[in-house]
Structure 1
Amino acid sequence: MLALTENVTDIVKQLADEVPEITALRIATEVDGESLSVSPADHAESEDQVIEQDGATVYVDGPASEFLSDKVLDGGVDEDGTIQFALGQQA
């Protein structure tokens, strides 16, 4: 299962606090099947895996959950306030 770093859980919780319509992030496979998107979400889709960690929620669609099963999601906010995410291999 995808693991989340403390940075990501903090980002998700802050987004949910600042924007009431956002309760989670959703990671989904793009139409091309080759790339992933990360977007704010207010609910899980029927086939989503729900990851709850340290008060943060991330929804992952079926195809993405297979690819991400041995990964860790990290994130940060740059000087301009842009959120950036990165994937790494779980230890």
Structure 2
Amino acid sequence: MLTLTANAAQAIRNLTAGAPEPAQGGIRIASSDDDASSLTLSLATAPEPADAVVESEGARVYLDPVAATVLDDKSLDAGADDQGAVSFLVTERAG
């Protein structure tokens, strides 16, 4: 299952803090037309019925079935540039 770094969890909490339902809000990672080589990330108010849910430190990530398979042994990290724009990075899980 995908893991989240502390930076990623904080970035997701920051992004979802202003959502209409922050208690259920998160980010959703989904494949584009069953194409495992192309994943999209978007804000979500709740998971889709088939989504896997990853929760860490109060942050939620919803993964469609293809994304869940592709990211099973990965870690999600986040960083911000000088202007505060957040970017996410998928890395191999350490350990």
Aligned residues: 91
- Provide, for residues 7-27 of structure 1, a one-character-per-residue CA deviation record: whole Å limited to 9, x for no partner: 110011112223335610000
- Residue from 69, 73, 88 that aligns with 1:85: 88
Q: TM-score, normalised by structure 1?
A: 0.90
Runs of 4+ in 1 over 4 A off after TM superposition: none
Identity of aligned residues (%): 40
Is residue 40 of structure 2 the alignment partner of residue 37 of structure 1?
A: yes
User: What corresponds to 2:13 in structure 1?
Assistant: 13
Unpaired runs of 5+ residues, structure 1, are none
In structure 2, the CA distance between the partners of 1:61 and 1:90, relative to structure 1 (3 Å rule), is: same
User: What corresponds to 1:46 in structure 2?
Assistant: 49
Q: TM-score, normalised by structure 2?
A: 0.87
Unpaired runs of 5+ residues, structure 2, are none
* CA–CA distance in structure 2, aligned partners of residues 29 and 53 of structure 1: 22
Residue 46 of structure 1 aligns to a residue in which SS? coil
